[in-house]
């Protein structure tokens, strides 16, 4: 286990080495924000999180209305990961802090960043336990902030990226805190010396093929020879950028609200704005809908092709996480959609209440009265799901004659790409329902005032 645990070694006399990082400092940081029901300390077993957990153990009596727990994510990437977990369990036990261990599969796919995959898995694990009024507390510090700033700078990030990591932000239904952003790695190491803390050392931290390790071990040390206080200066710049980004967001709020139509953007209103404001609104829209921002080049394509296309054109601008299309003067954003399988018919059992659609989400059937497909008809006929072939018609209650689906889709403003994926329910060989949009009068529970099954379409 010697390779697994490491103690801080310095040349200075331990009694002369003092850090600004004390239990009082941590307590002061926490008291700046509303207290949490539970403080979940992210505990990897490394020196940073080990010191943070130790300090929490010391201030725990001063948090009478809060519980302190630790969470350790087992990534399954290293041969000694089980031993690291055992170390974390042992040390948290010594501190009498409950530890939750979550195992994840953080193996990355070809072409995927291993750092990003591990980070995403870690935060998904954190998200699975955070409840309302809980706080996730991470041990990221001033040097981590400097590294993040430089990495974002090297990637050509905008204000949001260069603002780096906030001290406190919302996370799930609770919040995420980084109370050590004002202290350096050296401060943390000094506390480890004073308290004789053992920790685990991940050998991958030495691998300079990873961007962050390269910045930490080779780039920052060279710059700090000339500018020793660089980490503090960068942290201050990141704070300035964060404030500027907040002011910008507030400034575009009015324009964004006027441009937003439901979950879409109004093309005419966007066109009236300047290019910089157009890009800012598009970025905000993408973030608000929960998508990861595409590259600057892709944003320029959206504001170019998406806004300049003729009225009879429906441009499709896609990246790994999303697709933006234009229809009837609006921009739509949705996940990438694979081609729908070209199946003639998928049989459905009458007992089914959940219809899984291959690569196309699902239909949920809710039992109700006076709405949906008549329940007796549902049980009396052979049920199948199909997709449009062309020429389909439906009789809608309250309207004369049968309506062509193509015209109904146009009338309802259903975008062309949605029409192609709209599941159609047939009873025997007769069209009974078009997704969750229309029910044929012949099978309508509303028309018969009977018990029915109302379809609800859920996207992938």
Has residue 180 been placed in a domain?
Answer: yes
SS3 category, 403: strand
Has residue 32 been placed in a domain?
Answer: yes
Q: Are 286 and 168 members of one domain?
A: no
Q: Are 330 and 350 members of one domain?
A: no
- Phi, psi (deg, nearest 5) at residue 63: -120, 65
pLDDT at 9: 37
Look at residues 334, 355, 373 and tell me which one is the last residue of a structural domain: 334
Q: What angle do CA 178, 180, 181 make, to 5 degrees?
A: 75
Identity of the highest mean pLDDT range in 40-44, 231-235, 367-371? 40-44
pLDDT at 18: 56
- Our separate counts of H helices and E strands in the chain read 17, 24
The pLDDT tens digits of the residues spanning 142-181 come to: 999 999 999 989 888 888 888 888 899 999 889 999 999 9
Q: Are 310 and 370 members of one domain?
A: no
Task: Report the C-alpha gap between 371 and 120 in whole angstroms.
Answer: 42
Percent of all residues in the chain with a pLDDT value above 90, rounded to a whole number: 50
Q: Are 19 and 144 members of one domain?
A: yes
Q: Are 195 and 320 members of one domain?
A: no
Domain count within the chain: 3
pLDDT at 352: 87
Q: Give rounded-to-5 percent helix, strand, coil for the chain.
A: 40, 20, 40
Evaluate if residue 30 carries a pLDDT over 90.
yes
SS3 category, 271: helix
Look at residues 334, 359, 394 and tell me which one is the last residue of a structural domain: 334
Mean pLDDT of the chain: 87
Q: Are 329 and 355 members of one domain?
A: no
Task: Report the C-alpha gap between 152 and 155 in whole angstroms.
Answer: 5
The pLDDT tens digits of the residues spanning 317-327 come to: 888 888 999 98
The pLDDT tens digits of the residues spanning 63-94 come to: 989 999 999 999 877 777 889 999 999 999 99
Written as six digits, the tokens of 432 are: 């009974």
Q: Are 68 and 42 in contact (CB under 8 A)?
A: no
Q: Which CATH number fits the domain that encloses residue 151?
A: 3.40.50.620
Has residue 251 been placed in a domain?
Answer: no
Mean pLDDT across 390-412:
90
Q: Are 32 and 106 members of one domain?
A: yes
Q: How many CB atoms lie within 10 A of CB 263?
A: 12
Evaluate if residue 424 carries a pLDDT over 90.
yes
- Phi, psi (deg, nearest 5) at residue 69: -135, 160
Distances (CA, A) of 330 to 148, 301, 314: 36, 16, 10
Strands annotated E in 335-405: 346-348, 354-356, 362-369, 373-374, 383-386, 393-394, 403-404
Q: If you search the block for the tokens 């090297």, which residue do you land on?
A: 154
Has residue 111 been placed in a domain?
Answer: yes
- Helix (H), strand (E) at residue 70: strand 67-74
Q: Are 110 and 194 members of one domain?
A: yes
Q: Which CATH number fits the domain that encloses residue 299?
A: 1.20.59.20
Q: Are 374 and 350 in contact (CB under 8 A)?
A: no
Residue 1 pLDDT grade (very low, low, confident, very high; cuts 50, 70, 90): very low
Evaluate if residue 15 carries a pLDDT over 70.
no
Beta-bridge mates of residue 451: 369
pLDDT at 19: 66
Has residue 340 been placed in a domain?
Answer: no
SS3 category, 203: helix
SS3 category, 199: strand
* pLDDT, greater one: 4 or 386: 386
Has residue 75 been placed in a domain?
Answer: yes
Mean pLDDT across 36-53:
95
Q: Are 149 and 183 members of one domain?
A: yes
Look at residues 185, 207, 239 and tell me which one is the last residue of a structural domain: 239
Q: Are 95 and 128 members of one domain?
A: yes
Has residue 256 been placed in a domain?
Answer: no
pLDDT at 12: 37
Has residue 132 been placed in a domain?
Answer: yes
Q: Are 396 and 427 members of one domain?
A: yes
Q: Are 323 and 268 members of one domain?
A: yes
Q: If you search the block for the tokens 């080779």, which residue do you land on?
A: 218
Evaluate if residue 306 carries a pLDDT over 90.
no
Task: Report the C-alpha gap between 223 and 153 in whole angstroms.
Answer: 15
Task: Report the C-alpha gap between 279 and 287 in whole angstroms.
Answer: 12
Chain centroid to CA 157: 18
List the domain range (segments joined by +) for residue 301: 262-334
pLDDT at 247: 86
What is the bridge-based pairing of β-strands 383-386 and 346-348?
antiparallel
């Amino acid at each position: 286990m010697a390779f697994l645990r490491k103690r801080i070694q310095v040349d200075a006399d331990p009694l002369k080495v003092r850090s600004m990082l004390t239990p009082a400092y941590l307590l002061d940081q926490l008291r700046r924000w509303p207290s949490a029901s539970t403080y979940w300390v992210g505990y990897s077993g490394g020196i940073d999180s080990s010191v943070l957990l130790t300090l929490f153990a010391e201030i725990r009596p001063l948090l009478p209305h809060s519980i302190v727990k630790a969470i350790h994510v087992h990534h399954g990437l290293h041969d000694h990961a089980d031993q690291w977990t055992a170390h974390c369990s042992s040390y948290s036990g010594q501190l009498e802090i409950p530890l939750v261990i979550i195992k994840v599969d953080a193996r990355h796919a070809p072409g995927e960043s291993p750092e990003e995959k591990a980070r995403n898995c870690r935060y998904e694990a954190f998200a699975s336990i955070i409840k309302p009024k809980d706080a996730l507390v991470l041990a990221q510090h001033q040097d981590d902030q400097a590294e993040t700033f430089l990495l974002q700078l090297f990637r050509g990030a905008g204000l949001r990226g260069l603002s780096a990591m906030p001290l406190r932000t919302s996370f799930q239904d609770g919040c995420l805190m980084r109370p050590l952003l004002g202290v350096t790695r050296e401060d943390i190491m000094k506390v480890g010396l004073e308290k004789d803390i053992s920790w685990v050392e991940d050998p991958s931290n030495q691998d300079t093929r990873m961007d962050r390790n390269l910045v930490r071990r080779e780039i920052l040390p060279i710059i700090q020879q000339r500018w020793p206080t660089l980490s503090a200066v960068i942290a201050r710049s990141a704070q300035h950028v964060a404030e500027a980004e907040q002011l910008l967001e507030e400034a575009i709020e009015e324009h964004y609200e006027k441009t937003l139509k439901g979950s879409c953007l109004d093309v005419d209103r966007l066109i009236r704005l300047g290019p910089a404001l157009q890009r800012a609104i598009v970025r905000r829209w993408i973030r608000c809908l929960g998508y990861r921002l595409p590259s600057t080049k892709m944003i320029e394509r959206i504001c170019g092709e998406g806004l300049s296309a003729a009225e009879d054109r429906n441009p499709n601008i896609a990246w790994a996480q999303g697709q933006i299309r234009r229809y009837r003067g609006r921009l739509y954003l949705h996940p990438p959609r694979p081609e729908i399988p070209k199946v003639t018919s998928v049989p459905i059992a009458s007992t089914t209440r959940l219809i899984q659609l291959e690569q196309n989400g699902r239909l949920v059937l809710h039992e109700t009265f006076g709405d949906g497909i008549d329940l007796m008809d549902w049980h009396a006929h052979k049920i199948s799901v199909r997709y449009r072939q062309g020429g389909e018609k439906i009789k809608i209650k309250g309207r004369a004659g049968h309506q062509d689906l193509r015209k109904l889709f146009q009338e309802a403003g259903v975008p062309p790409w949605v029409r192609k994926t709209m599941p159609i329910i047939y009873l025997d060989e007769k069209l009974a329902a078009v997704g969750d949009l229309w029910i044929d009068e012949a099978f309508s529970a509303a028309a018969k005032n009977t018990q029915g099954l109302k379809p609800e379409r859920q996207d992938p």
